Chain A
Amino acid sequence: MIENDELLKVEHLKKYFDTPSGLLHAVDDMNFSIKKGETLGVVGESGCGKSTMGRAILRLHEPTSGKVLYKGEDIIQYNKVQMKNMRKKMQIIFQDPFASLNPRMTVSEAIIEPLMVQGIFLKSDKKGLNAQVDKVMELVGLAKRLINTYPHELDGGRRQRIGIARALAVNPEFIVCDEPVSALDVSIQAQILNLMQDLQDELNLTYMFITHDLSVVKHFANDIAVMYLGQMVEKAPSKKLFENPVHPYTKALLSAIPVPDPDYKMDRIFLKGEITSPINPKPGCRFSKRCLYATESCIGGDIATKEVEPGHFVNCVLA
């Protein structure tokens, strides 16, 4: 059942890759929904599958199975033409502000590109195109004089603004933000985060904000989902996750983040060993090998999701 204000609902989303060593379970049975105008933070360390999931939702990687319901309709079932049309509504901002821009396109060419590909303006409608470019550049804080500059002439912060402008050019409703500030300096990160917040308020955007840095999404996200090796281990409203983390991995993750306050006593939870392989994983909780509280029941079969408080879901036998 979809509620009226749910923009995106993901059901049993799976993405597996065929490798010579076996089947890589990059995304395994993810379930969540995002309301219109809100932000879902997706948090996890390297190899947890968060980036793959972001791309799978946009069908940049074709999902292996599952449903992605946008306003109730499963976009996995869409044909090529329908999917191309959807790309007006669903966009993505990438992590690397340099690699995600075509080095041979100027700022304005990069912004005009989606407009032309989507047929929003005709090539001959120079006025319309330029007006939209101006509007979008102003929205993201790029000076007009940069219209004909190339990415390599600009710094990371400005390049990322171009990436955001490109995503906004088609007036999307939903944007997957794949670690959009991880490659930026601290002071520029703050600028871009503020920008994204402002844009969300102004344009009523819905974000899926993927990051490895929990602190970045703390003030930004409505809900946060924590992933480990392709599985969701915990999902809760932002405040509740920080105040009352339940899953041992979430607790360990939170305890590992160095706090910029010398008086703060870090209550470090140490994890055993290293991350296990996502190739042909055994059934049960994938975190059990490193978990201090693991028991027999952790590796039997699928772990049931429990709602420990309203809106707060945990995949753990101890919950």
Chain B
Amino acid sequence: MEKVKNANKVSEQRSLWEDTWRRFKKNKMAMIGLYFMIILVIIAFATIVIDIATGQSFYNQHIIKQDLRRRLEGPSPGHIFGLDEFGRDVLMRMLWGTRYSLFMGTIAIVLSCIVGGVLGAVSGFYGKVTDNVIMRLMDILLAIPSMLLAIAIVASLGTSLINVLIAIAVSLIPRFARTVRASVLTVKDQEFIEAARAIGCSDFRIILKYIIPNSLSPLIVQFTLGIASAILSIAGLSFLGLGIQPPTPEWGAMLSNARTYIRDAWHVTAIPGLGIMFTILALNLVGDGLRDALDPRLKN
């Protein structure tokens, strides 16, 4: 056998993920977004730990307990974001509210992604009648404004946390189904899929091992942007009184309840509003950064 004399690229075995991460790191705005999200995640976990450690007493003392004498107090050295309409510290409530926006947003999206992803993959792979039926179902879902759909589901099932999650997940399924279907259609006709058939791979194996791993890029981007959407939806539902119920410190609910005081106490509306805004912004920056990082996509 002919031997190759020059040693070539031994130590630089880079997987496509590492390449993507490298490109992502170069994008300053995307990294800022990422750091922000990491901070939020740390805050969310920290508050959960504190709750478990203090057995809800801290929660009851600082988040729920009302102090009506001091309602609507503006920002001061002791309370940097001031107090809300029930005299509760706004900063504390913001910190404790992080988990709802973040985790609920993520869980809703994960549900949506799995269901939508499977539907999209099956639709794209098998085509013809299957594709038609599934896509028309998706069209029906898309035809209903997502907020209305979410409201309808919550109104009929009741206003528990789970129902809110389901409502949001359902409204976002078509987005994922379409994205995955488009990817699958592109990948399906590539030669390495044919090669897999030539080896004797079953359809299931091909979808799982060949098609889905190569269709992830657009899906990941949709995922991050989807969390932003979900957070907005949760906030919106709470704003309408259909989501999280008081006194739970969810940002959207906080925003809603402070509406009446907008002229007297700007901080009670502005702070939750800004919180939501920056989170969405951060997620969008990360999502855009990912899209750019994944896009050179195997360019040699």
A adjacent to B, CB under 8 Å: yes
Residues of A within 8 A of B (CB): 55, 58, 60, 84, 87-88, 91-92, 94-96, 99-104, 113-114, 117-118, 138-139, 141, 143, 145, 148-150, 152-154, 163, 166, 170, 191, 194, 198
A103: which B residues are within 8 A, CB to CB?
A: 16, 192, 214, 298
**Is B140 at the interface (CB under 8 A from chain A)?**
no
**Is B14 at the interface (CB under 8 A from chain A)?**
yes
Whole-angstrom distance between the alpha carbons of A229 and B198 in the complex? Answer: 25
Given A100-B192, A153-B9, also A143-B199 (CB < 8 A): no
A139: which B residues are within 8 A, CB to CB?
A: 1
Query: Chain B 247-271, CB within 8 Å of chain A: the 1/0 string?
Result: 0000000000000000000000000
Whole-angstrom distance between the alpha carbons of A104 and B192 in the complex? Answer: 11
Contact A145 B1 (CB under 8 A): no
A52 to chain B, nearest CB (A): 12
- Give the nearest-CB partner of B15 in chain A: A150
Among residues 189 to 215 in chain B, which have CB atoms less than 8 Å away from a CB atom of chain A?
A: 190-192, 194-201, 205, 209-210, 213-214
Given A87-B200, A118-B200, A141-B1, also A153-B12 (CB < 8 A): yes
Contact B298 A152 (CB under 8 A): yes
A55: which B residues are within 8 A, CB to CB?
A: 194
**Is B53 at the interface (CB under 8 A from chain A)?**
no
Whole-angstrom distance between the alpha carbons of A96 and B194 in the complex? Answer: 12
Whole-angstrom distance between the alpha carbons of A96 and B1 in the complex? Answer: 23
Contact B201 A60 (CB under 8 A): no
Given A143-B4, A149-B9, A153-B13, also A118-B199 (CB < 8 A): yes
Given A91-B198, A114-B200, also A104-B16 (CB < 8 A): yes
Contact B199 A114 (CB under 8 A): yes
A191's contact among B2, B190, B210, B298, by CB below 8 Å, is which?
B2
Whole-angstrom distance between the alpha carbons of A189 and B209 in the complex? Answer: 31
A87: which B residues are within 8 A, CB to CB?
A: 198-200
Residues of B within 8 A of A (CB): 1-4, 9-10, 12-16, 190-192, 194-201, 205, 209-210, 213-214, 298, 300
- Give the nearest-CB partner of A115 in chain B: B199
Contact A101 B195 (CB under 8 A): yes
B16's contact among A88, A152, A194, by CB below 8 Å, is which?
A152
- Give the nearest-CB partner of B19 in chain A: A152
Given A60-B194, A152-B300, also A104-B199 (CB < 8 A): no
A-B contact pairs, 12 of them (CB 8 A): A58-B198, A87-B199, A88-B200, A100-B191, A100-B195, A102-B214, A114-B199, A117-B205, A118-B200, A141-B1, A150-B15, A194-B2
Minimum-distance CB pairs A-B, first 5: A99-B191, A114-B199, A100-B191, A87-B200, A84-B200
Whole-angstrom distance between the alpha carbons of A139 and B209 in the complex? Answer: 27
A117: which B residues are within 8 A, CB to CB?
A: 199-201, 205
A251 to chain B, nearest CB (A): 33
A152: which B residues are within 8 A, CB to CB?
A: 16, 298, 300
- Give the nearest-CB partner of B12 in chain A: A153
A314 to chain B, nearest CB (A): 33
Whole-angstrom distance between the alpha carbons of A91 and B200 in the complex? Answer: 10
Contact B199 A102 (CB under 8 A): no
Contact B4 A102 (CB under 8 A): no
B195's contact among A118, A166, A194, by CB below 8 Å, is which?
A166
